[in-house]
């Protein structure tokens, strides 16, 4: 099992910045992917950004150039710096951790409890 503890989020005006952090602990393998997804009530959860244990990143088109994901491999933490925030970024943001024992195994996903980000005047 892997436990995730999220921090950050809150309220900010359009154009402002917020940061999110997530720390993973438990039975963690050497190769994993950490990231952030977001969900607006009544819609599907969508990818925001991910980063692999090797440092490979992936971003949703809607956040490219505004959000930056980073990770500390030794501490098993992932952070998301969100700049130039827009009202449409308002959502509950969930930390995600996925790993598999080997290349032949399926990935197992773990989720944080979620943290609210609200962007409004």
Q: What is the pLDDT of residues 59-109, one digit of tens each?
A: 999 999 999 999 998 899 999 999 999 999 999 999 999 998 888 999 999
The angle formed by the CA atoms of residues 42, 46 and 94, to the nearest 5 degrees, is 90
Residue 8's pLDDT is: 96
Place of tokens 């900010």: 12
Which of 98, 113, 100 has its CA nearest to residue 39?
113
Do 35 and 47 meet the contact criterion of CB atoms below 8 Å apart? Answer: yes
Q: Is the pLDDT of residue 28 over 90?
A: no
Structure tokens belonging to residue 32: 């994993």
Percent of the chain clearing pLDDT 70 (strictly above): 100
Which of 46, 42, 38 has its CA nearest to residue 116?
38
Residue 25: pLDDT band (50, 70, 90) is very high
């Amino acid at each position: 099992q892997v436990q995730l503890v999220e921090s950050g989020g809150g309220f900010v005006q359009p154009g402002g910045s917020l940061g999110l952090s997530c720390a993973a602990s438990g039975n963690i393998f050497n190769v994993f992917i950490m990231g952030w997804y977001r969900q607006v009530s009544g819609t599907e959860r969508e990818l925001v950004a991910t980063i692999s244990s090797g440092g490979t990143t992936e971003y949703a088109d809607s956040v490219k150039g505004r959000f930056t994901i980073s990770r500390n491999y030794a501490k098993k933490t992932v952070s998301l710096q969100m700049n130039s925030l827009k009202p449409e970024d308002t959502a509950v943001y969930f930390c995600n951790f996925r790993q598999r024992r080997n290349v032949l195994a399926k990935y197992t996903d773990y989720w944080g409890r979620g943290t609210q980000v609200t962007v409004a005047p």
